[in-house]
Structure 1
Amino acid sequence: MELYFELKTLQLKETFSIAYGNYNTREALLVELSYLNSKGYGECVAIDYYQIDLKKFVIRLKEIQPLLESLSIIHPTEFFSILSGMNLHPFLLSALDCAYWDLFGKLENKSFIELNHLPSQNLAESSITISVADIEDQIRKIENSRWNKFKVKCKGLNKDNIEKLLRLDRNIAIDSNASFTDEDCIWLQENEKISRFSYLEQPRPVGNYKILHKESLANWMADEDCQDLNALEKLLPYYKSVNIKLMKCGGLTPALTMIRKAKELGYKVMIGCMTESTVGISAGCVLAGMVDFADLDGANLISNDQAIGNFVENGRIILSGKAGLGISLK
């Protein structure tokens, strides 16, 4: 097996504004694992509020490259077990895990869904992100969009803006990226109209969730608070829903376990994404038959997508049906 990796710059179609900052590009690390004539692809991106340094990932890949290239082709769960002993950051772990699933499926001539006996019908419909802006601009984007579901970003709580969004009578979720106060959360979860939002994501900074009540009118969804399997039990009294992202939890292998465990505990589950190319989005798409919500618009937000594979069109998730994760580079 051979390992190849390359840093790429993803260009956003327009400035992406969230509570953490404004972004026109995302730096990405493309990982390729190959054997014979087959190639599998994975990806991770630099997110500043996760303190991701892709140059350190490149150094780490060079360190483990001889070991990875010495491995024979084994089942992806065995490969993940080996990776788990290398003390890798979850973002880098995810890129390698997804690349190997893509390679293994191509070698077996079976899709990830076939290999794992997952549903491929009745896929969750993805939302499109509306970045932080003047409320009238946000409403204009919603009204002019061909998508059916929207995740509206905000920086802090503006009650008038909440009322304006509710009057649209559209399928809208709110994502404050941890910018709400305790007082904001109390007001939201005691307001009966708030149940009309499909969910309210990560209202408070990490670890500051105990003001939230699971049984309230708000469908609180954990994002940064829910990093891995261990978070699910402790978040139960506070959140109704969790956002599982491959890069956060370390790839497809742990995501499968997390989704199943979250469902057992009674959570509603979303498969989410960062700003990613089709390499990353293709991996997320294969889990869309297992979840209640999807937020897989990352590749729709960039202008220089580097791959083709599974994709999202106006919210509809379209699986290629090809072997592995169905990824090929342009």
Structure 2
Amino acid sequence: MSRPRFKLEIQHWPYRQKIAISRGVLSTQTVLHATATWEDHRAQGEGEQHESDETLSMAAAERGQALLSQFEETPDRETLRRQLPADGLRNALDAMLWDLECKRSGLRAWELAGLPEIDATTRFPTLLTVTLDSPDEMAQQARRWGNAPVLKVKLGDRTPGGLDRDIERLHAVAAASPGSRLTVDPNEGWSPEGLQRFAAAVWSLPLALIEQPLPAGHEDLLPGLGLRIPIAADESCTTLDSLSRLVGRVQYVNLKLDKCGGLTEGLLMCREARRLGFQLMVGCNCGTSLAMAPAFLIAAFCDFVDLDGPLHMRNDRSPPISYAEGHLHAPDVALWG
């Protein structure tokens, strides 16, 4: 019987334009691309280490290749879940194994996962991101998205006077796109006092939620702030074990496959999060259509979907996921799953 051949490589995918968030400015995404070839089948997956850190990516690629070389046959997803930490490497390998099982079995990923049918007509509304910039430029970004159902506005200006400018930014975006619901993501950039002041200043706007306003680990402060706007945990929501610590502190949890280590863990988290009473988001760290494809299955559980990553990339994989009118469509079987 033939053995599978695995390959893990680092790839660089430039953004259409630089992306600013509260922690810095990004111009290129560094991803891990995992492939498996077995008989006539070729499978693939993609993951990103923390904010495209090149050193972390190189170390992860070496670690992953060494692990794969130990397997005489295809490792199962649960083995990877036990042996690797939850990160972009495990996400890439997990996605590759899902894709390989689909191709060898002739089943789609939604069938293997026991989910309702996903076909070529399935689509979900996705948040469209307005990146951190001046109020005028962010208003221009909002206009370029057209009549978007939901905009995600990056905030978290950490310079002196930054909170006042964040408030000005959100008002500018709301005025530029009056038909859109809004979410904001300061990426851990505010203090409890700043969060309270921001929430009071934007109460009249159609703001659906605030994502990770405080640094991870400070969620215990949220219930005492008297906020009327729902809060979502992002950096604080990592793996299955993190969910219980967030009960009573946030209303939403944002599941990202690069954080939790892949679709296998993500599906477990979806079911547990629902059991615990959370509402759900699925997000991404930008990425090509290959990174969005496994997350599309998670979207079936979610109240908010934040999978616009490929729209920010200069190039994409083939065949790409289709986006239209603020919605993303199901991935083609030739891409994944």
Indicate whether the TM-score tops 0.5. yes
Does the C-alpha gap of structure 1 residues 122 and 194 become closer, same or farther in structure 2, counting only changes over 3 Å?
farther
2:32 counterpart of 1:22: no
Q: For 1:206 and 1:96, how far apart are their aligned partners in 2?
A: 27
> For 1:1-330, what aligned pairs fall within 5 Å after superposition?
1-48=4-51, 53-68=56-71, 70-72=72-74, 79-119=76-116, 120=118, 123-146=123-146, 147-156=148-157, 157-158=163-164, 159-167=167-175, 168-169=177-178, 170-189=180-199, 193=203, 196-213=206-223, 216-320=227-331, 322=333, 325-326=336-337
**1:182-235 Cα shifts (integer Å, max 9, x gaps):** 102223455682683121111011112222139731110100000011111111
Does the C-alpha gap of structure 1 residues 323 and 160 become closer, same or farther in structure 2, counting only changes over 3 Å?
closer
Q: For 1:194 and 1:258, how far apart are their aligned partners in 2?
A: 33
Contact 2:288 2:317 in 1 (8 A): yes
| RMSD of equivalent CA atoms | 2.4
Read off the aligned partner of 2:156 and give its amino acid letter. Answer: K
Q: For 1:323 and 1:310, how far apart are their aligned partners in 2?
A: 11
Worse-matched range after superposition: 199-208 or 182-191: 182-191
Please list every run of 5 or more consecutive structure 2 residues that lacks an aligned counterpart in the other structure: 158-162
Does the C-alpha gap of structure 1 residues 123 and 231 become closer, same or farther in structure 2, counting only changes over 3 Å?
farther
Q: For 1:89 and 1:291, how far apart are their aligned partners in 2?
A: 21
Please list every run of 5 or more consecutive structure 1 residues that lacks an aligned counterpart in the other structure: none
Percent of aligned pairs sharing the same letter: 23
Contact 1:285 1:319 in 2 (8 A): yes
Worse-matched range after superposition: 91-100 or 112-121: 112-121
Read off the aligned partner of 1:175 and give its amino acid letter. Answer: D
Q: For 2:42 and 2:52, how far apart are their aligned partners in 1?
A: 31
Contact 1:95 1:251 in 2 (8 A): yes
Q: TM-score, normalised by structure 2?
A: 0.87
Does the C-alpha gap of structure 1 residues 210 and 51 become closer, same or farther in structure 2, counting only changes over 3 Å?
farther
3-state DSSP of counterpart to 2:14: strand
Read off the aligned partner of 1:71 and give its amino acid letter. Answer: E
Contact 1:30 1:44 in 2 (8 A): yes
Q: For 1:124 and 1:52, how far apart are their aligned partners in 2?
A: 35
Q: For 2:316 and 2:202, how far apart are their aligned partners in 1?
A: 41
Tell me the matched-pair count: 320
